Amino acid sequence: MLHRAQIRNWLGEIPFAADVYWMLRQRNRPRREHFSMERLRQALPRARQIVEPLARAASPGKEVLFFATLHYWIEQASLISLVLAAYGHRVTLMTLPYAEWHYRVDKFTQRQRLLYTRHLLAALEPLVSHQPMPELRALPPLPAALQEAVEEVTQWDLQYTLMQEEIDLTSPHHQALLELRRERNTFAARAALGWMEAKRPQGVIIPNGLILEMGAVFRAARFLGIPTVTFEFNDQREQIWLAYNSPIMQQDTDPFWPIWRQKPLTEAMYQRLADLENARRGARVWGKSQRLWQYVSAQGGEVTRRQLGLDERPVVVLAANVLGDSLTLGRNLFASSMSEWIRRTVRYFARRPQAQLVIRIHPGETLVPQAKSMASVVREALPDLPPHIHLVQAADKINTYDLLEIADLVLTYTTTVGLEAAMNGVPVLVCGKTHYRGRGFTLDPTSWEEYFTLLERILAAPRNFRLDEAQRALAWTYAYHFFFDYPRPFPWRLLHFWEDLKVWPVERVLSAEGRARFGPVFQMLTEPQKMLEAETVGSL
């Protein structure tokens, strides 16, 4: 007996079967499934009414490709595209109407999703052109270099989806996921490559730019040398991260640091950063965020020292990341993975009882229980921990900032704990490609040999490696600009998008108030050189 999915796949192979069913049964009905954009359907008429006269009056802008997949990104991209049209830009919104990235959908359902998206986004025309990616034909083969880049994206997709660094390809589930992601990423890269070669847009805008089809399209745009902006969001509402010609999740601050370091902090800037740090230390929310960085307020370093049973031997804190976050993908240097780095570090300290190692599992692991815990990586390396190695679990009532207070050395991969340790004068060994590495206030080994040599030197005389006043000032300067200037003002985050739209409807975003606040950032989406200009003249 055929399963329902098999029947729907078979129906999907029959020409126009899904189209006829859509016209007769689905066209004017809300979709009652995961892939639904009914709130966008309701919002578009009013948004179009606001944008239309502004677009007619605007000076001609640029030809821009905006790529979005997954229904929530498509919703946000649709309204961003309309705002760009109000500024005079000619935007083509290219969509790939998936609701899921990690399992297959039968062809009949997927065809219906395409028809639904095309019908709904027809309301954008002619202000914004809509190009459904699945309808592109005569796709070019991928050049070898681009195929290799797509393969890298595919490997990251597995790590992101499974929330594991080390993938077992003997597992049928892992192998099936690999094949699915490779197939979808290759199609997206080929389709985007063919369209961009023919149309040659002046710019490309892509969410995230690191993983899934978004990463594949980013690689195609960069292969053709087309200026590309990627974007993502931090924990603060009304903020956006932007990157030019790099995936935003890599947080490349190289272009900005030469400018930032020339801008000394005022007393007000120091106080603002101190307020943020005190909120994190005190397990309080800060600004327009609801995120707690710690689950227990700081009790003081000496309380924590007694709680863990630490003595006067040097204390080394290893601060782990959460696996699966796209902020951690593609960050390896001399270690093949963060897991390998942790295993080798733990084994190293097991043979050196002259120092005490405290492994701090990231509190954020409590939010993603499906991710492989770094605690299990520690146990794999050392099933029985010696008394001088202490494992602080994600949910333990220990405050990370208390650990920094008593630390003689901090070891990090990419977590910002390393940046905050340097602000407090603690020497930091950075072992992954993180944004604050190489800024003059961290120790940055490039090989295992250099890493272990540095460890030996620091453990022999930890006080000799404390940061001096100039290095601490440099760390504070970097931290201020990273936390407060790197994020740009933006009305709508992906999370809570529809709640944000109530606060900042399209008419308010395009009012004099909205243009003054957000106009420069909408300009950066199409003129990315404005990012550096904004840093040169001051914070937004």
Domain assignments of the chain as residue spans, ordered by start? 4-255, 259-484
| The pLDDT value given to residue 19 | 59
Two domains, one topology: 4-255 and 259-484: yes
* Amino acid symbol at 122: A
Choose the most confident range, by mean pLDDT, from 167-171, 238-242, 280-284, 534-538: 238-242
| The pLDDT value given to residue 1 | 43
**How confident is residue 539, by pLDDT bands cut at 50, 70 and 90?**
very low
**How confident is residue 407, by pLDDT bands cut at 50, 70 and 90?**
very high
Residues 168/196, Cβ–Cβ less than 8 Å: no
Per-residue pLDDT reduced to its tens digit, 501-538: 999 999 999 999 999 999 999 999 999 888 888 776 55
pLDDT surpasses 80 at 26: no
Per-residue pLDDT reduced to its tens digit, 453-503: 999 999 999 999 999 999 999 999 999 999 999 999 999 999 999 999 999
Topology adopted by domain 259-484: Rossmann fold (3.40.50)
Least confident of 66-75, 191-200, 321-330, 453-462: 321-330
> How large a percentage of the chain has pLDDT more than 90?
78
pLDDT average, residue stretch 432-448:
97
| The pLDDT value given to residue 109 | 86
pLDDT average, residue stretch 100-124:
91
pLDDT average, residue stretch 371-391:
92
| The pLDDT value given to residue 8 | 56
Residues 355/367, Cβ–Cβ less than 8 Å: no
| The pLDDT value given to residue 107 | 86
Per-residue pLDDT reduced to its tens digit, 448-463: 999 999 999 999 999 9
**How confident is residue 177, by pLDDT bands cut at 50, 70 and 90?**
very high
| The pLDDT value given to residue 25 | 54
| The pLDDT value given to residue 328 | 81
| The pLDDT value given to residue 525 | 97
pLDDT surpasses 60 at 540: no
Q: Which residues of 101-136 are buried (b: 16+ CB within 10 A; e: fewer)?
A: beeebbbbbbbbbbbbbbebbebbeebbbbbbbbeb
pLDDT average, residue stretch 346-364:
95
| The pLDDT value given to residue 289 | 82
pLDDT average, residue stretch 74-93:
98
* Cis status, amide bond into 126, omega within 30 of 0: yes
Max Cα distance, the chain (Å): 78
**How confident is residue 157, by pLDDT bands cut at 50, 70 and 90?**
very high
- Pairwise CA distance, residues 150 & 182, whole Å: 8
Residues 358/403, Cβ–Cβ less than 8 Å: yes
Q: At residue 94, what are phi and psi to the nearest 5 degrees? A: -100, 125
Residues 186/151, Cβ–Cβ less than 8 Å: no
Q: What are the DSSP calls for 319-361, one per residue?
A: EPPPTT-GGGTT--SSSSSHHHHHHHHHHHHHT-TTSEEEEE-
Nearest to 84 by CA among 512, 510, 486: 510
pLDDT average, residue stretch 191-214:
97
| The pLDDT value given to residue 533 | 81
Architecture of domain 4-255: 3-Layer(aba) Sandwich (3.40)
| The pLDDT value given to residue 2 | 46
| The pLDDT value given to residue 516 | 97
| The pLDDT value given to residue 530 | 82
Query: In terms of residues, how long is the chain?
Result: 540
Rounded to two decimals, the pTM is 0.92
| The pLDDT value given to residue 30 | 62
Q: Which residues contact 163 (CB under 8 A, 6 or more apart)?
A: 323, 324, 368, 370, 371, 372
| The pLDDT value given to residue 432 | 96
Per-residue pLDDT reduced to its tens digit, 257-315: 999 999 989 999 999 999 999 999 998 888 888 777 788 898 999 999 999 999 999 99
Residues 279/236, Cβ–Cβ less than 8 Å: no
- Mean per-residue pLDDT over the chain, rounded: 91
| The pLDDT value given to residue 537 | 56
Token duo for residue 255: 């272009």
